[in-house]
Amino acid sequence: MKSNDFKDKVTIITGGGSGIGEAMCKHFADKKAKVIILDNNEAEGRRVSQENKSDFIKCDISDEGSVDDAFNQIERNYDRIDILINNAGIAHIGKITETNPEDFDRIIKINVRGAYLCTRASINSMIKNNKGCILNMASVASNLGIPDRFAYSTSKGAVYTMTLSVARDYVDQGIRCNCICPARVHTPFVDNYLKNNYPGEEKEMFAKLEATQPIGRMAKPEEIAALAGYICSDEAAFVTGSAFDIDGGFTLLK
């Protein structure tokens, strides 16, 4: 099978209603996958699903009951899960002294518990079929010290090591698990952050953020989606337990 053909592969993408997740939905749908979007934002999730002729299930990935209901529905409708992409996540800005327990718990609940619950809910289907691919969205913050990102870095470090653990435990059952570690990506989150924190200075601050990447710009969501497409393809059948930096040279500075 060519890497650009996912014909009829049942592909679950969490957080598919915007940003990187939306780009992934389009990429996999264009390559003939049967895409199921899981998102807590029903309006955006349904919009993306309609635009890409995909299915949508409203799901709070941090809630065990919501996740189990969603995956049970997928099993009933499709009878298998081929690919799981744990993309959904949130960010937080601040050092440890600027991170209250509620902030910390919310980050861990979505970024770490969410990936755990979705992986746990899909793994038995993959074991039954003796094949499957799990892709986690980590970050350059998984293994670098990023200023003012205490809670976020903590959560992405956990996602990275979760990837290694799952890859190790299920390598002999035909299941691959990898993660992507992007630097800054131009998504609606970036635009909203600048709008809320630097009103009237958005263009100047955007230029400063882009300048932090040695390549001179942020990544495009479509570039992350293209890498995800390769990792989840049969052409990457020998790849598991790996972390893929896609950072415009950001790690070269560290």
Q: Of all helices (H) and strands (E), which one includes residue 23?
A: helix 19-30
State how far the alpha carbon of 105 is from the alpha carbons of 88, 115, 225, in Å: 16, 15, 28
Lookup result for tokens 């691919």? 133
φ and ψ at residue 242, rounded to 5 degrees = -115, 150
Lookup result for tokens 């809670």? 151
**What size, in residues, is the chain?**
254
Written as one letter, the residue type at 99 is T
φ and ψ at residue 58, rounded to 5 degrees = -70, 130
Residue 108 CB-density burial (10 A; 0-12 exposed, 13-18 middle, 19+ buried): middle
* 152 assigned to active site: yes
Catalytic choice (116, 152, 160, 170): 152
Q: What are the catalytic residues?
A: 152
